[in-house]
Amino acid sequence: MVEERITTVEGGAAPSTHTTIIHDGEPARRSSGGAILLAIVLLIAVVGSLYFFNRASSSEAAKDNAIAGAASSVEDAAQKVGNAAQDAADKVTK
């Protein structure tokens, strides 16, 4: 509810008018540039976090692949040593 009161003061050369407006209830909501700026900053933070976590995941995958490749090389070397030992044992027993 809005109440408007107009008061006229007479005296002097010209009368002056003063208007008072009283608002009851909730004040009108105004859009704030600060809220929009905060939303943009939060969006940039989320996108940046996703980017860095994705890079970390890629790094982990590369590390896991390198370990798997090294384990495969060790397996191949152990197989060759086992075959050489078997060949040596066969030559001794013949």
Write out 32-93 in H/E/C secondary structure. CHHHHHHHHHHHHHHHHHHHHHHHHHHHHHHHHHHHHHHHHHHHHHHHHHHHHHHHHHHHHH
Query: Per residue in 9-64, pLDDT tens?
Result: 666 666 666 667 766 666 666 667 788 888 899 999 999 888 888 877 777 788 88
Cβ–Cβ under 8 Å, residues 5 and 23: no
Which of 52-56, 58-62, 84-88, 89-93 is predicted most confidently? Answer: 84-88
Q: Rounded to a whole number, what is the distance in angstroms from the first to the last CA of the chain?
A: 113
Q: For residue 24, what is the DSSP state?
A: -
Residue 8 is inside which H or E element, if any?
strand 2-9
The predicted model scores a pTM of 0.38
Residue 41 is predicted with a pLDDT of 92
